[in-house]
Amino acid sequence: MALRKGIDIKAAAVISGLADFLDGYNKRNDMKPICERIVGHPDTHKNEYIARSATYWADEINVPILIIHGAKDKHVPVEQVR
């Protein structure tokens, strides 16, 4: 989110980050209470989920990013990073 808002940096690194908050909510029951506490339910706060999901606005990031993510991560699917 900081990259999207134009933080003044030359490059960034992300380690095992959740790129699609809405997808995480839908695929991981253990995340639902946390997501709802932070954002609310996606039926009524979908735009807030999108605002926290780089997959929807990746084209707005204008610095190089190093993404470090293991293919066997059990919490965040590697497909989100790809």
CA distance 42 to 49: 7
Res 6: pLDDT: 86
The more confidently predicted of residues 16 and 54 is 54
Is the pLDDT at 16 greater than 90? The verdict is: no
pTM check: above 0.75: yes
pLDDT per residue as tens digits for the range 30-41: 989 989 999 999
Biggest alpha carbon distance in the chain?
36
Put residue 40 in one of left, alpha, beta given phi > 0 → left and psi -120 to 50 → alpha: left
CB-neighbour burial class of residue 1 (10 A; exposed 0-12, middle 13-18, buried 19+) = exposed
Mean pLDDT of 7-29: 90
Is the pLDDT at 63 greater than 90? The verdict is: yes
Establish how many alpha carbons lie within 13 A of residue 10's alpha carbon, considering only the half-sphere containing its beta carbon: 0
